[in-house]
Structure formats: C-alpha cells, structure tokens
Structure 1
Amino acid sequence: MANDVYQTPFNSRYAGDEMKLLFSPRSRYSTWRQLWLWLAEAQKQLGLPITDEAIAQMEAHVKITDEEFEAAAAEEKRRRHDVMAHVHVFGRVAPAAAGIIHWGATSPYCTDNGDLIAMKRGLDLLLPPLARLIAGLSAFAKDYKGLACLGYTHGQPAQPTTVGKRACLWIQDLLLDLRNLERARDDLRFRGAKGTTGTQASFLQIFDGDHEKVEQLDELITQKAGFKSVFTVTSQTYSRKVDVDIINALGSFGATCERFGGDIRHLAMLKELEEPNEQDQIGSSAMAYKRNPMRAERLCSLGRYLRNKPKEALDTYSAQWLEMSLDDSAIRRITIPESFLCADACLILLLNITAGLVVYEEVVKRRIEAELPFVSNLDPDRLSLAKDQQMATENLIMACVQKGLSRQDAHEEIRVLSLEAAAQVKERGRANDLIGRIRQCDFFEPIHGSLDILLDPNTFTGRAAQQVEKFTQPGGEVETALRSYHDHLSDTIKTPDLHV
C-alpha cells in the first residue's frame, strides 16, 4: 500500500528516524493526550474533583494505539473536528476520565501547545549534530590551515588564501546558525491554558473566580511541559509570529546549506576538492568516467527549499484575523514539520560530506602556480595593470627597489611583460610564462636568484594560517560556542541511505 500513494521524500529518502518520529501522527496525538493528562493533574492539584483512577487511566493510555487511530478517523469523519474526535476516543480507553478530559480547554490547548513542544524538541534534535558538524570542519580547517590555494572574487582568481581559512568561512556561517537556533529554542514560551479567546474565562469559571488558581494552572502545566515561561497574553492561539522566528532560523540555515554546497560544487569542478565517493557509485548512466558532486547538489536543492519556507510562515502570520482564524491550520501542518525534516536532511548530508572531504593538494598547488605570476598584494587600480594580470608582481617590484632599481622602471617592465604573457594565455591557450620572461629579461637580473622565494605561494596568504589557529584554538570562538555540546561531539547518528 505504501508504494501506491504519495509519500514525502523527507520520509522515504532524506530525513532521519528521530525527526520523522517526532512529527509522526502517533507523536502528535500522543502529545495531545499528554497535555490532557497534565491539565487534569494540575486541575486536581488545585482542588478540582478529579479522581486518582481518572489520572491513572489517562496515564496508562497516553500513547495512542493503531486501533485508536482507526477509531479517531471514524469519529473525525462523523464530527468534522479532529480534536473532539480524539477527546472521545481517549475517553473510551480512560472512561473514569471521560467527563473531565479537555475540561475548560479549547482546541489550541492541544494543537498549539503540541506544536510548541514538537518545535522545541525538534530544535533540541538539530543542535547537537550542528555542533558536531562545526567541530568536524574545525579539525579539517586546522589540518589544512597552511595549504595555500587560489582565492576567488567575482568568480575570478584573486589573492591566495588557504584551504583551512576557506573552511573557517563556512564554520563562521554555521556558528551564526547555531546561535540562531539556540536563540529560537531558548526564546520559546508555552501557550498554556488560555481558553477560547485567550481570556481564561472558562478556567476562571471552573475555579469559581479564583484568579490565583487560574494563574497557577498556567504555571503548573508550563512546568510539566518543560518550558521556562508561559505567554501572559495570547488570543485563542499563540501569535504566529513565533513560527516566523523559528522558521526564519531554519530558513537561514537552509541558505547556509545552499551556499556551502555551491562552494563544494565549484571546487569539485576545478578538481581541487571532492565530496566522498563510494566505490561502486555511478556518476552517469551514459558517461562512465563521471564523479558528480551529487551530495552537494542535493544539499543545494534541499537548502533552497528550506530557505523559502519562511515566506510561508510570514504569509500565515500576516493573514491572521483578530483573535484567531483557521486559515492557518492546513499550511502549518505542512510548513512546520517539513521545515524541521528538511533541516534534519541537510544536516545528515553536511555531516556525510564533511566527514569525507578529499583535498587534491597537487591540483591545488598546480592551479595556484598557474595563476601566481599575475597576483598582486595591491588593488588593480593602484597598479595600473590589466585586471586579469595581477599576481605576485608587487613582491618582484619591491625586491627590485631593494636591489637599487627604480620602482617606476620595474613597474613598467612588468606591465609590458604581463601584457605579453596574458596574450599567450588568452589568445593562444598557452601556459602563463610571465616568470620565464622575467628570468630572461636583463633588467631583472639582480633578483633572478630570489625568484623562487619571492614566488612562494605561502608568502601571499597573509595571516590566513594564524587566523585559523586563533579561530579554532582552545578558548577561542569555536570552542566557546561548542562548550555546552561537549558530551555530544563524539556521538554518531543513524542516517538513512543517501539517495539522490
């Protein structure tokens, strides 16, 4: 039967088991039952006539069974109301509590509080693997902190950086995502027991006008649910702006995923770096030689989907009327779970990709050697050279000056030779021969013996290696951010097969 109906790919291909279970129907409706139990326990504690037997029966049937799913579906078809359908079915298995289940509450007591619980748990599931991702990339950055590579601006070769420093740029963005998700989780407040339009009128009536007990009820339920605080004011629902804040954080992470995946794909295209590749993996059904960056491509695809989810949350929030309107219900059933499932899928991919990144050091070196003669430490406008002829010429000019030659004469000689070398590269497709031309030019004879040192790529990477060390050192920015996740950094997660 499962193969005869549509299934979301998040469930069948991409997301992990824990996140799928969290947003499953069983988890959703069992959470409703748990909320009804907490409500009854708190009401009993505050003096309402609820028996121990009622509490015991509810407690024994918190987890909904397959048979009860069928009964609830039949009730919902009859009553056209999902919450009341589940109230009736819960009452059948806990008959001593049938009369007090959902006492004083309205539907969002279950649906809204349930969604808040799910989102809080969802963020708790996402944060540890995100911390492990950052820790793994930090180790990678330290391993390659000194490996010089071409930097790229405008998609064109630019001042060299290092492979490790580039990884730190990815880490920096992921640290912002870690902060955003932590903040979203820590800012979450519980809706609590607020009644039909948020005035708590029904609970005030139940407690015979005792305002203090109504407030205590709110606080007790909030504590049982594991939240630090409860909204003082709500309408029938909590403000959908809360969803906006959470899904914005997830969407921002999605943008990071797409950007990271794009960098991996570009570097794979240049053959400098590659994602892990399985022994029997097939890149193309027609071109047997291909090794495609399929994981990075999938990461870009899922990241793009995730970064567009915030608009759904924004549209839903802004369309709400007065104390509540039900046009938010259907879309929230899709937006919230799929945002979390997509973020989970992205993390699984990121952990897989970064755990097996392959750096082709000889290719990295060859590419930088091909472009290095055109790199300069100065802005193109200050050198008055053609923009694609910029590499280590400033070092050569300064060395000439130290040998007593004129800076302006050296500048002019290099400018002319650079134009000639550029013509060889662009018009004839030949290798860059600027350094060979300099070696053959009598003007530069005083520095011929120093050319190898002057053109060492590591002399052009500035403080890249030192920046990596400072960024990842004990007590540094990365370690400080990951301190609370220390016990999770060595965890392994059970991941699904990585399908296309």
Structure 2
Amino acid sequence: MAAEGQPWRAGSSLQARQLPLIACLLFSSQEMCFVFSNRYKLQTWQQLWLWLVEAEQTLGSPNTDEQIQEVKSNLDNPDFKMAAEEEKQLPRALMVHVHRFAHCCPKAVGIIHPGTTPCYVGNNTDLIVLRNAFDLLLPKLARVISQLADFAKERAELPTLGFTHFQPAQLTTVGKCCCLWIQDLGMGLQNLKRVRDELCFQGVKGATGTQASSLQLAEGGDQKGEQLDKMATEKAGFKRAFIFTGETYARKADVEVLSVLTRLGALVHRICTDIRLLANRKELEESFEKQQIGSNQNPTRSEQCHSLARLLMTLVVEPLQTFERTPDDRAFLTAESGNTVLNTLQNTSEGLVGYPNVTKRRVLQELPFTATENIIMGMVKAWGNCQACHEKIRALSQQAAAVGKQEGGESHLTEHTQPDAYFSPVQGFLEEEVCPLVMQVKGELCL
C-alpha cells in the first residue's frame, strides 16, 4: 500500500498523480495527468539512468554496448508486481525501483544508479515534468487568446457601456473590452514562456553538489565531471544546468513557477468575474450544450475557473530550504491546477454567446448620462471650474436618474442641463454637438 505523500510508489495508481485535486476535476486533460503520473515518473527515472550510463561510456567508462542496450530495451517494461513485493522490505521508493530495474536488466546491474543520489533522478524528473507541463499549458493559453480574438473581431464596432466602479461611464465597444482580456492573457503567455525557457536542469551533482562520487568513478578530474554534467543536460533537452546546487536544485526555481502560474490565476479570475457579471446583465453567456441538464442562465464554467483561479492565487508561498534536502510539491500542484483552469477557460471562450440587442438596450438606457464628460470638457474650454461642474452634473444626474428609479420613466440628463443657466456657456455646444450625437448613436443602435 502506498504511503500518503509518496504517490509514486508501486502500490498506488500508475496512470494518474495521487492528488485529491485530480480526482475531483472534470476538465483535467489526459495529457497533463499522464505527465504527472506515476508511470511517467518511473519511465523518466529509467531514462535518466540510461542518459547517465551513455554519457559515462562516452567519457571512457567500461560500460558495454550490451549493458546499455539492455537498459534501453527495458525502459518501458516496469515490473510493478515485483516492485510491490520489494516495498514490503525496502522503505525508500527509489531503492524499490533500483532493485526492480536491476532485476529487469541483469547484465546492467553494476551500472544502474552508481555514484548518484535519489535527487539525481528525483529532482531532474521534477524539472522535466515541470518543463513538459509548460509545453502543454502554452498552446492551451494560445488557443484561448485566438478564440477571444475571433470574438473581439466580430464585435469590434458593437457599442457597449464602459464602467468605472461597475457604474456606467462612457461608451466603448464589446471588441475593445474583450481586447483587455486578450492583452492580459498575452502578457501571461509571455511570462509562461519565459519561465519555461529559463528552467535549468539539476544535472549530475552528487550528494552535496560537489560531484565527488562521479569524479572518483570517472577518474578524469574536474573536466570530465563538467563534461558529464553537460552531456546529461543536453540529453534531457535542457539548454543549461544549475551551476551550483546542494543535493537539491535551488527552490527559487519553484518560486518562479509558482509565481507565474499564480499571476495567470489572477488574470483568469478577473476574466471569469467579468463573464459572470455580464451574464447577470444578460449581455453574455456561456454556450448551452444540447444534452446539458439544468439552466443555461448559470455561468458554471466561469464559476469553476473562478474557484480554481483562487486556488492558484494562494499557492505562491516561498518554499523553505535549509541545508537539508527539502522537497516541495506546490509547484506541481500549481501546474496541474493551471492546466485545469486553462482547459475550462478554453471551453468557456470557444462557446461564448453575445446578445447585441440586450447590449444596445443597456446603452440606450444610459446613453444620456454618457454625455456628461462631453459637457464637462465643454465647460472647461469655456473657462468653467472643472470640480464645480462635476458637482453640478452630479446633482442633475441624480435628478434625472430619479425619473427612472422612482417613476419608471426615461432619464434624459440633457433635458436637465439645457434649461440650467449654469450651462449657458455651452448651450450652443449642447444643441449642436451633444444632443445630435446622442440622437445619432440612439438611431444607429435602433437600426
């Protein structure tokens, strides 16, 4: 039976990482689950052993072609039944699989895991998993941006209300509002790619980061140690390795992963909040599947994204690291959460449904009030006091709004400003520009 906190042991599920998060999420992709699965972890451990013995042979070790070929032929042949039996006798997960793999490769017993520590396979696997997780996240985020870009283009000229403090302010367009989301996600995409490209390999550093055991086996001094580290790094597909490590790589790398994904969570949280608010205003809603059960009025996908984004936003706590080896799992939890958030956001963005007639009706209701900035600017040009004008407009706006709120009638702010002597300096401006502009926009929206 696998011990809690050691989900890679043979007694646990081999196909999915053992986290409550994975079990309860509906939209986690199979690809991401596999990258974090026990099977992939073990396959990567075995691949790391192969890369090491190949590099050692190139640098002059007595590893034979026959031994290396035996290791290659057993990379995808784990004997999990044997591992389960070994677990009963060995307390450490790594040694269980060293014994198991050695049993599968009897000719190569002497060259598997020599001169290395559990962190050679453990930490390097963690870094490979994080890199591969980023490779899955990046195209998902790019697809979300592409889908939102299509949505924005279709509605580039559709007027809508712009808000301050979620109160109607000035006119804008639906396409421009969507571009705010796209811009944020584009910045998120750049940051994800930067952190992915800056990930370093731990390499072959030994128990305390000195390569002492590897240097003794290689019998070639510091130069061979550096070559071994470089070759293993290149075989793993990394551009560079950490120059200095203890037994573990610097946990600052995990902080970078956590930070970029929590910032992505903040972006998604904002977008999903906007969608939920617009759904309440009946201007936007998620697609409704033909076989879906329940009400299509509920933005359930956005709600799921919203809650998962909050989880992402709470995970950026500086990992503790002392002289001891200190594993930290939060980077992996965050990457898996980020994958689920993007899966759900992609599903949401590709099915967004806009209701232009509702948007137009909202604009028409607030249209007279959107002229206030024009009036104030006109007064400023006529040497009016900007703050005094603001206060006057505020009082008249409340009177006009009361017509709609208390009497249920239409609110016409311009009808209150035109007869007021205070606004006499801009009466011509009101009659020639503001009122005609209001009527023009109103006419266009009513077409």
Using the size of structure 2 for normalisation, the TM-score is 0.85
Cα deviation 1:434-485 (Å, max 9, x = unaligned)? 35667999997996686663216869xxxxxxxxxxxxxxxxxxxxxxxxxx
**Which secondary structure state, in structure 1, belongs to the residue aligned with residue 264 of structure 2?**
helix
Sequence identity (%): 42
Matched, 1:15 2:28: yes
Matched, 1:262 2:273: yes
Separation of aligned partners in 1, 2:126 and 2:302? 31
* Structure 1, 76-85 or 412-421: larger mean CA deviation: 412-421
Q: Where do residues 87-236 of structure 1 align in structure 2 (5 Å cutoff)? A: 87-236=98-247
Code of the residue aligned with 1:211 in structure 2: it is: D
Code of the residue aligned with 2:213 in structure 1: it is: S
What's the C-alpha RMSD, in Å, of the aligned pairs? Answer: 3.0
Specify the alignment match of 1:431 in structure 2: 410
CA shift at 1:425, angstroms?
2.9
- In the superposition, relative to structure 1, how do residues 60 and 262 fare at CA in structure 2: closer, same or farther (>3 Å)? same
Cα deviation 1:82-130 (Å, max 9, x = unaligned)? 1111111000001111111011111100000001111111111111121
Picking from 296, 306, 323, the partner of 2:302 is: 296
CA shift at 1:416, angstroms?
7.2
Separation of aligned partners in 2, 1:279 and 1:98? 58
Separation of aligned partners in 1, 2:42 and 2:61? 25
Specify the alignment match of 1:308 in structure 2: 314
Separation of aligned partners in 1, 2:44 and 2:264? 27
Specify the alignment match of 1:274 in structure 2: 285
Cα deviation 1:400-454 (Å, max 9, x = unaligned)? x8xxxx989xx79977754432322344444324356679999979966866632
- Verify the 8 A CA contact 1:148 1:458 in the aligned structure 2: no
CA shift at 1:59, angstroms?
0.5
Specify the alignment match of 1:421 in structure 2: 400
Matched, 1:24 2:37: yes
- Verify the 8 A CA contact 2:169 2:369 in the aligned structure 1: no
CA shift at 1:291, angstroms?
1.3
Code of the residue aligned with 1:50 in structure 2: it is: N
Give the number of equivalent residue pairs: 418
- In the superposition, relative to structure 1, how do residues 87 and 436 fare at CA in structure 2: closer, same or farther (>3 Å)? same
- Verify the 8 A CA contact 2:34 2:40 in the aligned structure 1: yes
Consecutive unaligned residues of structure 1, counting only runs of 5 or more, are 285-289, 379-391, 460-500
Code of the residue aligned with 2:184 in structure 1: it is: D
Cα deviation 1:285-316 (Å, max 9, x = unaligned)? xxxxx6101011111011111122222xx1x3
Specify the alignment match of 2:357 in structure 1: 362
Cα deviation 1:195-223 (Å, max 9, x = unaligned)? 00011100111122522111111011011
**Which secondary structure state, in structure 2, belongs to the residue aligned with residue 146 of structure 1?**
coil
- In the superposition, relative to structure 1, how do residues 454 and 24 fare at CA in structure 2: closer, same or farther (>3 Å)? same
Matched, 1:374 2:387: no
Separation of aligned partners in 1, 2:66 and 2:289? 58
Separation of aligned partners in 1, 2:429 and 2:254? 68
**Which secondary structure state, in structure 1, belongs to the residue aligned with residue 322 of structure 2?**
coil
- Verify the 8 A CA contact 2:287 2:351 in the aligned structure 1: yes
Higher-RCO chain (CA-CA 8 Å, sequence separation at least 6): 1
Cα deviation 1:234-292 (Å, max 9, x = unaligned)? 100101111110121111111111111000000111111112122343445xxxxx610
Separation of aligned partners in 2, 1:446 and 1:206? 89
Separation of aligned partners in 2, 1:178 and 1:216? 34
Cα deviation 1:132-157 (Å, max 9, x = unaligned)? 21122122222222211111111211
Separation of aligned partners in 2, 1:217 and 1:307? 39
- Verify the 8 A CA contact 1:195 1:201 in the aligned structure 2: yes
CA shift at 1:8, angstroms?
3.0
